[in-house]
Structures are given as structure tokens and as C-alpha cells.
Amino acid sequence: MNRLAQGADAPVIVIGSGIAGLSAALALAPRPVLLLTRDGLGEGSSTALAQGGIAASVGPDDTAALHLADTIAAGDGLCDTGMATAILDQTPEVISMLARHGMTFDRDENGHIALGLEAAHSRRRILHARGDGTGAALVDALTAALRTCPSVTVLTGAEARRLTSADGRITGVTVLQDGRARHIAAACVVLATGGIGGLYEATTNPSDNYGAGLAMAARAGAALADMEFVQFHPTALATARQPLSLISEAVRGEGAILLNDLGQRFMADIPGAELAPRDVVARAIHAQITAGRRVFLDARTALGDRFATRFPGIAGLCADAGIDPARDLIPVCPAVHYHMGGVLTDARGRSSVPGLWAVGECASTGLHGANRLASNSLLEAGAMGMAAARDIRDQGAAQPLPQIAQSIAAADPAPVRALVSRHLGVLRDAKGLDAAIEALLPLAQSDSPAADPALVALSVAVFARLRQESRGAHARTDCPATLSASSRQQFTLPQILGLAHDLIAPETALIRSA
Ligand code: FAD
Ligand code: SIN
């Protein structure tokens, strides 16, 4: 057994070093924080890969109300308007926090903040840095600030595997480092473990990010919400590289168009065309590819030689694949990009379990509804990291509770990827979802290294099976209509397991309800 801070108050443990974890850890100062992260500081994060930027209604023709209206329209009837208002209202605070930590945004030739356009935004409102290097700039700024923040201790190469609790309250984390498990006591825990793209074969997310925070929270008793809503980005660069490189929506915002290999502009007659909501564009591209076509982004006329200046990072990714976007068509395909679902939280980032907060992509606040509006995610993660820190600062200190670490292996999502990609993709149906549930249920309840990834995937499948409609990013070929009345779903692990059993063995459910 290994204990940290023996004799001293237990630290707040923050798990993950993307924008959510970094913002929370910095905003918690001077309260002692232990930041655990699986790779190096800021590494293995979606944050570092972010291209488009951060949505902020700062343009002269823009207002917070317009930003809210676009967010709600993209969310397809499932946004929590109160939460969306509360989070978007924190936009100025997030931008000034980033600026205070040294982040500088790109400016136009007149010295004004340059504003990009992305799908389903009615105004230019995307602040960006280094052209398309917003995420890298953000990680550089926040990690530099963190390294000089005396209240934060960083533990890298540390994979969090389990939360421990006593009397219904979270007391610490079991961590794997250098192959050894140890328990670290915590005053409270902030999950900031990012998305679930690592469950899929085709994703823009770091491949190891399968939703560890969701599995740990669910096993500790926390409710999960909106798990069925997995966002596919329409335009990943179609190469063999894993994870797939992203071709930012901002490229379409600058006028690039989508063509198939017959030269047809298949989005032309769809409302919004190339800048329709992400789910609409992803499904249109998926339909083309399923019909045997190949799909390309054509930036030759809209950007031409300007491409490399406006999008230097993407130009580099294309060059690695032998493509010159000024002259060549860019082959694209949809890929898993973002998860609207996660650990259910309130406006302070509190989960349903005392002592456990969740922020950033691993949380489900209700901001995004059934479909996230582009570039609202960095904003939400920064806002909620700070909100959780404010809330935790008001909590009392706690003495460490020594506990023996369970022996546990590193998690491995590889065994579930083929199944998840096949049945939980852009289009779903009851038959495929039932097959996924049947295969994932025993794995989720096993001791296998794939148990936690299977548990997260099982939750997506159960939520998706129960939502008998198509809405936002959740498209059911057997239930294509959008129901007139619908609400968010939220379940705890015992409920998810019970529902899974009932779905694959309906006769047992009938006996139980008789
Ligand atoms: P992440 O940034 O993913 O960080 C998660 C952290 O948790 C990582 O450090 C990871 O290593 C760590 N971790 C995971 N599991 C464990 C564990 N078990 N133990 C310890 N550590 C663990 N959104 C926008 O708003 N604008 C954009 O322009 C934009 N572009 C994007 C481009 C790409 C290619 C991708 C993939 C996403 C993009 N998004 C964008 C989405 C956005 O980047 C993410 O939603 C956001 O960065 C999530 O931040 P986070 O801090 O919650 O998680
Ligand atoms: C992009 O640049 O297209 C990604 C933006 C986002 O995911 O919000």
C-alpha cells in the first residue's frame, strides 16, 4: 500500500489534463491538488488536437442570446436551457481565464480578434489560435501556468482505475503506475477524463480514451445521462492513420465544398448545405460511402494558396498523406469525435455521488442536448472546470482514509472496437443494438481488461436501444421519426445492467414485472 500526504489533509484529486482538468486544477489554488494523468501533462487529450477554436459571442453582430439559440437548435430539442444559459453566460470568464494564463487568439489585419465560422452557427464566433492550432496553444498556456502553480502536484503516467468510497462518499482513487496499483486518498475527486472515441475503430480522439471516468463513476454509483448521443465529425481525413486526423469544420466555414467521386455536390440541396448541423452532414457522407462512393472536400477555389496560411496544421496533416489542399481534393469520412453523454452533473459539476465532480467531455451537463454545436466543448470544459473549483473551494478539508489498493490491470478497449463500430455507429437499429448488448453484458461484468470499455459501450447501447426515435446524433433506421415529446435519459449502473438483462431476455422481464 502506498499513501500520499500521510498526516496532512488529503488533496483534491483531479483526473485528466485536458482543458477541463487543467482549468479545474488552476482554479482550485491555493487548495492542494493532485493532478493524475495517464500520459504526459496535456498529452493523450482531445484538447491538444482541437483545431477550430472556442465559440464566444464577441462579434459586433452577435449576442449571448443568439449563441444560446444556435446551441438549442443544434441540440434538437434536448438541451437543458437553464444549464445552457448558465454555461454560455460564463463565456467572458473563460476567455479572460485563458488570456490570464497566456493564451493569445489570432487577430485580423485590423488587429481585431479573428472570428471563424462553423456549422450551424448563425454568426462568425469561433476564436482560434495559430490558425488551426487552438488546442495546442491552449495546452501550452495552461500547462505552463500549472507548472508554476505551487498548490498543484502532478503525477504523470498514472492511469486511474477505480474510485473508492466510504459511507457513500468518495474517498480516493486506485491508480496504476509502472504496472503497480496503489490507493491515493482524496478529499474529493474531479473526473476530467475526456471522451469515448477510443471505443471505436474510426475516431479523431486519442485511442486510449474510452471513457474511463464514466466507468469509474458508474461503478461508484453515479448516474450517467445522454449516453446514446455520440457525435460523428463529418470530415476526418480518410487515411489509414489512427486516430484519424481532423479536417476542421472551419475549412467548410471558409467555403470549401463536399463532392463525391462523380463530382456531384451532394449537400447542395440540403438546408445549410456544407454548414448544416454536424449530424446531418455526417449522415449524408455516410450515405454516399455506403452507396460505394468516395467523398472529398474541395478547398481549391475557396482557399487555394491561402489554405496553408489559414490552416497550417491541417496543411501539414494533408502533406503527410501526400495531399496538397490548394491543388488536390481531400478524401474525407465521418469519425467518432465527441460524446454528448457522460456523468450526469449539475451546474457546479457535482455528480449524483457525494465527493465526486465531473467536468468537460466526460460529464453530461445538458448543454449539448442531442447534438453539440461546434466549438462549444472547449468553452463548456473551461467553464465547468472553474465552476467545480469554486464549489470545491467551499468544502471542508478531509483527513486521508488509508485503504488497500485492489490489484487491477490496465484497461484495454481493443476487444470491443469492432463490435462497437458495427452496431453503435452513425446508423443504429434494434437488432444490432440487441446483439451489442448481448455481447457486451458479460464482458462488462467480467474481470477482463476490456470490462470498463465494455461497460461504457454497454451503456451507450442500452440508452440507444431505449430511445425509439431518431434525434440529433442518434439515428435509428427502424425508428426514423422524431417523437413530439422526448426527454433526457439517466440511469445508474444497477439500472443499466437490469435493463440490459431485460432487453436480451424479455421473458425474464415479464416474469419480474408479473
Ligand atoms: P481531454 O482533453 O480529452 O482530456 C482528457 C484527459 O484525461 C487526458 O489528459 C487523458 O490522458 C486523461 N485520462 C483519460 N483517462 C484517464 C485515466 N483513466 N487516468 C488518468 N488520466 C486519464 N472542441 C471545441 O470546442 N473546439 C474545437 O476546435 C475542437 N476541435 C477538436 C478537434 C479534435 C481532433 C478533437 C478530437 C476534438 C475537438 N473538440 C473541439 C472537442 C474538444 O477538444 C474536447 O471535447 C475537449 O478538449 C475535451 O476536454 P477534456 O478536458 O474534457 O478532455
Ligand atoms: C472542428 O474544428 O471541426 C472541430 C470543432 C469541434 O469539434 O467543436
pLDDT at 4 > cutoff 50:
no
pLDDT at 229 > cutoff 70:
yes
Q: Which of 49, 132, 337, 378 should be mutated for ligand 2, with most atoms under 8 A from CB?
A: 337
Q: Which residue intervals of 31-109 are DSSP H helices?
A: 64-74, 81-88, 91-100
pLDDT at 514 > cutoff 70:
no
Give the model's confidence band at 2: pLDDT under 50 very low, under 70 low, under 90 confident, else very high: very low
Average pLDDT of 16-25? 98
Nearest to 363 by CA among 194, 496, 209, 233: 194
Q: Please identify, by atom number, the ligand 2 atom nearest to the C-alpha of residue 118.
A: 3
Total residue length of the chain: 514
Q: Which of 51, 367, 372 should be mutated for ligand 2, with most atoms under 8 A from CB?
A: 51
Q: In angstroms, what is the C-alpha Rg of the chain?
A: 22
Taking the CA of 53 as reference, the closest ligand is 1
pLDDT at 445 > cutoff 80:
yes
Q: Is the dihedral of CA 185, 190, 43, 113 positive or negative?
A: negative
Residue nearest to atom 39 of ligand 1 (CA): 50
Q: What is the pLDDT of residue 510?
A: 59
Measure the CA–CA gap between 514 and 508, rounded to whole angstroms: 10
In Å, how far are 218, 257, 411, 485 from 490, measured between CA atoms?
11, 38, 25, 16
Q: What is the pLDDT of residue 404?
A: 76
Give the model's confidence band at 5: pLDDT under 50 very low, under 70 low, under 90 confident, else very high: very low
Give the model's confidence band at 1: pLDDT under 50 very low, under 70 low, under 90 confident, else very high: very low
Same fold: 7-196+340-395 with 231-337: no
Tell me the CA–centroid distance for residue 337 and ligand 1, in Å.
10
Pocket around ligand 1: residues whose beta carbon is below 6 Å from it?
15-21, 36-39, 44-47, 49-54, 134-135, 159-160, 192-195, 204-205, 209, 212, 246, 337-338, 360-362, 375-378, 381
C-alpha cell at 263: 463530382
Contact (CB, 8 A) for 457 and 437: no
The pLDDT tens digits for 173-202 are 999 999 999 999 999 999 999 999 999 999
pLDDT at 287 > cutoff 90:
yes
From 31, 38, 125, 278, the catalytic residue: 278
3-state secondary structure of 12: strand
Measure the CA–CA gap between 11 and 192, rounded to whole angstroms: 16
Q: What is the pLDDT of residue 511?
A: 62
Average pLDDT of 304-314? 96
Contact (CB, 8 A) for 52 and 116: yes
Establish whether 512 is a catalytic residue: no
Tell me the CA–centroid distance for residue 338 and ligand 1, in Å.
9
Measure the CA–CA gap between 490 and 224, rounded to whole angstroms: 5
pTM score, whole prediction = 0.96
Q: First CA to last CA across the chain, in angstroms?
A: 49
Tell me the CA–centroid distance for residue 54 and ligand 2, in Å.
9
The pLDDT tens digits for 136-167 are 999 999 999 999 999 999 999 999 999 999 99
φ and ψ of 412, to 5 deg: -140, 105
Tell me the CA–centroid distance for residue 369 and ligand 1, in Å.
19
Give the model's confidence band at 505: pLDDT under 50 very low, under 70 low, under 90 confident, else very high: confident
Q: Is the dihedral of CA 497, 498, 499, 505 positive or negative?
A: positive
Which secondary-structure segment (H or E) carries 59? none
C-alpha cell at 380: 463548456
Q: Which residue intervals of 311-429 are DSSP H helices?
A: 312-320, 377-393, 417-423
Pocket around ligand 2: residues whose beta carbon is below 6 Å from it?
51-52, 248-250, 337-338, 374-375, 377
CATH number of the structural domain 7-196+340-395: 3.50.50.60
Q: What is the pLDDT of residue 508?
A: 64
Q: What is the pLDDT of residue 91?
A: 98
Tell me the CA–centroid distance for residue 336 and ligand 1, in Å.
13
363 DSSP β-pair partners: 343
Give the model's confidence band at 372: pLDDT under 50 very low, under 70 low, under 90 confident, else very high: very high
Where along the chain do its domains lie?
7-196+340-395, 231-337, 408-513
Residue nearest to atom 30 of ligand 1 (CA): 50
Give the model's confidence band at 297: pLDDT under 50 very low, under 70 low, under 90 confident, else very high: very high
Helices (H), strands (E): how many in the chain?
Answer: 16, 21
Residue nearest to atom 14 of ligand 1 (CA): 193
Tell me the CA–centroid distance for residue 194 and ligand 1, in Å.
5
Average pLDDT of 76-82? 97
Cβ neighbours for 281, distance < 8 A, ≥ 6 positions apart: 119, 234, 235, 258, 267, 274
Average pLDDT of 209-216? 98
Which secondary-structure segment (H or E) carries 292? none
Q: What is the pLDDT of residue 117?
A: 93
Average pLDDT of 361-385? 97
pLDDT at 86 > cutoff 80:
yes
Helix 377-393 and helix 91-100: axis angle, to 10°? 80
Tell me the CA–centroid distance for residue 206 and ligand 1, in Å.
8
Cβ neighbours for 141, distance < 8 A, ≥ 6 positions apart: 98, 101, 102, 103
Q: Which of 47, 98, 146, 339 should be mutated for ligand 1, with most atoms under 8 A from CB?
A: 47
Q: What is the pLDDT of residue 394?
A: 83
Q: Please identify, by atom number, the ligand 1 atom nearest to the C-alpha of residue 161.
A: 18
Cα pseudo-dihedral 451, 487, 336, 250, rounded to 10: -150
Q: What is the pLDDT of residue 7?
A: 47
Give the model's confidence band at 399: pLDDT under 50 very low, under 70 low, under 90 confident, else very high: confident
Contact (CB, 8 A) for 345 and 363: yes
330 DSSP β-pair partners: 297
Q: Which residue intervals of 246-374 are DSSP H helices?
A: 249-253, 278-290, 307-310, 312-320
In Å, how far are 114, 215, 220 from 58, measured between CA atoms?
10, 37, 41
Give the model's confidence band at 61: pLDDT under 50 very low, under 70 low, under 90 confident, else very high: very high
Q: In what order do the strands lie in the sheet with 295-298?
A: 230-237, 330-339, 295-298, 257-260
C-alpha cell at 401: 482514509
Nearest to 369 by CA among 489, 210, 222: 489
pLDDT at 55 > cutoff 80:
yes
The pLDDT tens digits for 100-136 are 999 999 999 999 999 999 989 999 999 999 999 999 9
Return the minimum-mean-pLDDT range out of 4-13, 406-415, 493-502. 4-13
Residue nearest to atom 1 of ligand 2 (CA): 248
Q: Please identify, by atom number, the ligand 1 atom nearest to the C-alpha of residue 195.
A: 3
231-337: CATH architecture: Alpha-Beta Complex (3.90)
CATH 1.10.150.120 fits 408-513, yes or no: no
Return the minimum-mean-pLDDT range out of 18-22, 203-207, 214-218, 483-487. 483-487
- Rounded to the nearest angstrom, the gap between the alpha carbon of residue 514 and the centroid of all alpha carbons in its chain is 41
Taking the CA of 17 as reference, the closest ligand is 1
φ and ψ of 480, to 5 deg: -75, -20
Q: Please identify, by atom number, the ligand 2 atom nearest to the C-alpha of residue 132.
A: 2
pLDDT at 361 > cutoff 50:
yes
Tell me the CA–centroid distance for residue 263 and ligand 1, in Å.
35
Average pLDDT of 26-53? 97
Q: Please identify, by atom number, the ligand 1 atom nearest to the C-alpha of residue 128.
A: 28
Measure the CA–CA gap between 277 and 376, rounded to whole angstroms: 13
Give the model's confidence band at 397: pLDDT under 50 very low, under 70 low, under 90 confident, else very high: confident
Give the model's confidence band at 509: pLDDT under 50 very low, under 70 low, under 90 confident, else very high: low
